Amino acid sequence: MTEKKKTIPLTEIKAAALSMDCDTGFPFEQALSGDDIGFICECKRASPSKGVIAPEFPYLKIADDYEKAGAVCISVLTEPKWFMGRDEYLREIAAAVSLPCLRKDFTVDEYMIYEAKTLGASAVLLICSLLDCETIEKYIDICDDLGLSVLVEVHGEDEISVALKTGARIIGVNNRDLRDFTVDIHNSERLRKLVPERVLFVAESGIKTPGDIDKLRRADVNGVLIGETLMRAADKKAMLNYLRGVK
């Protein structure tokens, strides 16, 4: 981040982002507001918990496969060290598909929000365990001015309260415990009851079967974010159709 700021200062990236069209319809939120669960499908080459997931990474084909198989959004990692991401992954995917894209990097600086806008993102990720309530509120305000949606990620009941206090319109529950990387999708089922219906609810991590989807559907979850299950599948369209129950 420091090097990026030296190349393109905050004032410059901010001006570039603010000069772009602002879609106040918030397409990421619209995509998750359908009658059935919306699938946010992830393009990532690696992760901190699993290492390299996709040695071969034809990211544009992957995104195209997701769109053709019924995804409502694409999640893209651009962070280079842990996820082996690149900015051009997001820029090129956002230009190639008609779906809204989430930049799923861990946003820890307002610079990253303006940068996400210039790369073509429709949404960014804010993680409650990394940011205080005041900072999340500030970043949501910045995103609103840019026409970006915010996925506010939580892990437990205490963070649900924080997310609701910030005015989050989308709350994502990460079923992976970041302390030991264990996964329990019942975390989403349990926490869904604490979130008002007016707030969109996304379940993240550990979703592997149509049975998992059915459980989350019965819990009135609006969206699921699926990464490793799809990225490890040889035929990603077939896997997504399988998860969606399409024969």
Point out the residues that are catalytic.
42, 44, 104, 153, 174, 204-205
Look at residue 106 and give its three-state secondary structure. strand
Mention every residue, 6+ apart, whose C-beta is less than 8 A from residue 135. none
Q: What b/e sequence results for 173-204 when a residue is b if at least 16 CB atoms lie within 10 Å of its CB, and e otherwise?
A: bbbbeeeeeebebebbbebbeebeeebbbbbb
Kindly give the interhelix angle for 133-146 and 157-165, rounded to the nearest 10 degrees.
Answer: 50
Q: Is 246 left (phi over 0), alpha (psi -120 to 50) or beta?
A: beta
Look at residue 26 and give its three-state secondary structure. coil
Phi, psi of 23 (to 5 degrees): -85, 95
| 129/85 Cα distance (integer angstroms) | 22
Q: Is 9 left (phi over 0), alpha (psi -120 to 50) or beta?
A: beta
